[in-house]
Structure 1
């Protein structure tokens, strides 16, 4: 019963683990040096995962209380997360001592990946009316 209620969180965790493994393989095959990155890949995945976990958990709680506000809550939470991510990205944008193109692309890809996962999970939650 509990697993049924939180299947979305399990899907989030599995998706993140698969994405992390694929991301590491891409870096390995293209010989991308992560040592010069401001944030390590593990740090970024950890931060993105924690925020996504919190958002999905809050959405599951909102679904129980007031299903009609679920979509607006998702938009508000995602907007708040976007502000936090901008603050997280600022040190990367201020770096000038080497080429940061790959690091910016990496951050953007992670943002889009996690936003996609959260959107899919929200659609699943919305499609199952209580």
Structure 2
């Protein structure tokens, strides 16, 4: 893979790092202590979603090089697989009874939506580049 083809992954990592830093600062200063009882820490969630996104984007980049007509279907399949994995992670949170469970659910869904948005944007850009 050339350096230009890896640009979407680099962009993903930069945007993820910036949002992660902002998220951590938010929980450090504004919501101090609310994440003490979270089942998954914020770095664990970001790590999971960054790993999933890098895998998805790597496969999409490779798929674009081989057969651009399959990129959209591949994206949908990989996103569905990621959603199943995310639900497996989310299930214990849904069953939790601690006092901050609503904040933890919101935190999880915000991170999930963020990475879904990033992946969708990059997939659209990959399909538009010919």
TM-score by length of 1: 0.95
**8 Å CA contact retained: 2:52, 2:82:** yes
**Root-mean-square deviation (CA), in Å?**
1.2
Q: String of CA shifts for 1:77-97, please: whole Å, max 9, x gaps.
A: 001110110000011111113
> Counterparts in 2 of 1:1-130, with a 5 A limit?
2-33=2-33, 34-129=35-130
> 1:97–1:35: structure 2 CA closer, same or farther, 3 Å change rule?
closer
**In structure 1, how many angstroms separate the alpha carbons of the residues matched to 2:31 and 2:94?**
23
> Where does the alignment leave 5 or more consecutive residues of structure 1 unmatched?
none
Q: Secondary structure at the match of 1:54?
A: helix
Q: Secondary structure at the match of 1:3?
A: coil
**In structure 2, how many angstroms separate the alpha carbons of the residues matched to 1:99 and 1:41?**
14
Q: Secondary structure at the match of 2:37?
A: coil
Q: Secondary structure at the match of 1:4?
A: coil
Runs of 4+ in structure 1 displaced over 6 angstroms?
Answer: none
Comparing 1-10 with 70-79, which one deviates more in the overlay? Answer: 1-10
Q: Secondary structure at the match of 2:38?
A: coil
Q: Matched residue pairs, number? A: 129
Q: String of CA shifts for 1:7-46, please: whole Å, max 9, x gaps.
A: 0010010011001011012112323322211001111100
**In structure 1, how many angstroms separate the alpha carbons of the residues matched to 2:31 and 2:98?**
21
**In structure 1, how many angstroms separate the alpha carbons of the residues matched to 2:67 and 2:100?**
48
